[in-house]
Structure 1
Amino acid sequence: MSIRYRMVKKKESSKLGQQDWIDLGLKVLAEKGVESVRVEPMAQLLNVTKGSFYWHFKNREELLEAILQDWVSRETDSIIEQVEVAGGDASTKLLYLFELAIQDDGQVEHAIRSWAANDSKVALLLEQVDQRRLSYTKTLFLELGFTPFEAMVRARMVYYALIGEFTVGTRTNPSERLAEVRLQHLILTRRD
């Protein structure tokens, strides 16, 4: 999948905000990796000068930090919030969580995991994200009456399957994937 960049006309560049840089940074990260998230090439893609970048960020490191925080917000905080707002019992929440999780193509997740392999700060953040996601999922399984051990095993099974799918990069068609995740939900929530 190639990135489609929004080209900004010079007269529109004053409307360019910090979020535009973050969004482009996420796209570049997903397609080419963290080493390609560079100021000058991104400024060219946005059709602005490097000065536009420095209006919003002190340096590349600040942009990279903003990209990570945006990702955490979108792919962890927002998803948990959506599940909680939707409500329902724990089984309903789990199914909705599974359905939301498969809507992501996993490219940014995979790129961040690759980045974390060579950056201890990113690895620490990723470990915190993994723990938060697993803890939330485990809590829902606990609410279904599973023991703490059973709840954690189930949380890990579904989470590791999804992360593995992102890492391997194989995805079935959306309707097939939805059927799969619903079957996973049925299997993991069944109490025999």
Structure 2
Amino acid sequence: MDERLNRQAWIDAGLGKLAEEGPQSLKVMGIAQHLGVTKGSFYWHFSDLQAYKTEVLRAWEGKYTLDVMQQANGVGTDARTRLQFLLGTTFGQRSDLGCAIRAWALTDEHVAQVQNRVDQGRLSYVTELLHEIGWPVDDAAALAQFLYYAVIGYSHTGRQATSERDVALYLAMLLKVP
């Protein structure tokens, strides 16, 4: 079997289609055509479309949340360094995929639950970092929400990246512990 036609190739194709065309593009035939294979290849890897969508969501959560947190933890023990890494990575990620997931969550309860779990995990992680930096826990939670929702709003502008200078400025504002 061609390596590009493995399970991960299908998932990656789904993430790409989701980002480019939205959740309505997650159809077996469309993705099979995109990959240049028959839909029989799909059913070799997934029992049905719902199982596939679940795997696409799992991959999104893993790559854009769990992996990023793990990478941030790997850059050092200093919370400032981890937060700086997190901000730089977040502003450098593709925003179209996150926007597509949020739009999908408005019409699909399962997706909404996954989105909520991801949001809570991200907020908890940023709250923890801000608290380690020196913010009181309640203030850290409020600041984490403000920062997180600002990043979501920024992602809806369609800009994929911000300058290192801007990230440094955002971080400097966050580090002004009362």
TM-score by length of 1: 0.87
The alignment of Structure 1 onto Structure 2 pairs a total of residues equal to: 178
Say if 1:36 and 1:15 are closer, same or farther in 2 by CA, change over 3 A.
closer
TM-score by length of 2: 0.94
Q: Which residue of 1 aligns with 2:111?
A: 122
Which digits, 9 at most, give the CA deviation of each residue in 1:57-116, with x for residues without a partner? 111111100000000000110000001111131111111111111110211110000000
SS at match of 2:92: coil
8 Å CA contact retained: 1:13, 1:48:
no
1:188 aligns with 2:177: no
RMSD across aligned positions (CA)? 1.5
Q: Please, which moves more after superposition, 143-152 or 133-142?
A: 143-152
**Any gaps of 5 or more consecutive residues in structure 2?**
none
Q: Which residue of 1 aligns with 2:35?
A: 46
Q: Which residue of 1 aligns with 2:165?
A: 179
- Structure 1 distance, partners of 2:3, 2:13, is 17
Say if 1:117 and 1:15 are closer, same or farther in 2 by CA, change over 3 A.
closer
8 Å CA contact retained: 1:87, 1:93:
yes
Say if 1:87 and 1:39 are closer, same or farther in 2 by CA, change over 3 A.
same
Say if 1:15 and 1:74 are closer, same or farther in 2 by CA, change over 3 A.
closer
8 Å CA contact retained: 1:33, 1:111:
yes
Q: Which has the larger radius of gyration?
A: 1
Percent of aligned positions with the same letter in both sequences?
37
Matches within 5 A, 1:11-90: 13=2, 16-90=5-79
Q: Please, which moves more after superposition, 88-97 or 50-59?
A: 88-97
The runs of at least 4 aligned residues of structure 1 exceeding 4 Å deviation read 12-15
- Structure 2 distance, partners of 1:114, 1:15, is 29
Given the alignment, which residue of 148, 152, 173 partners 1:163? Answer: 152
SS at match of 2:134: coil
8 Å CA contact retained: 2:75, 2:81:
no
How far off its partner does 1:162 sit? Answer: 0.9
SS at match of 2:135: coil
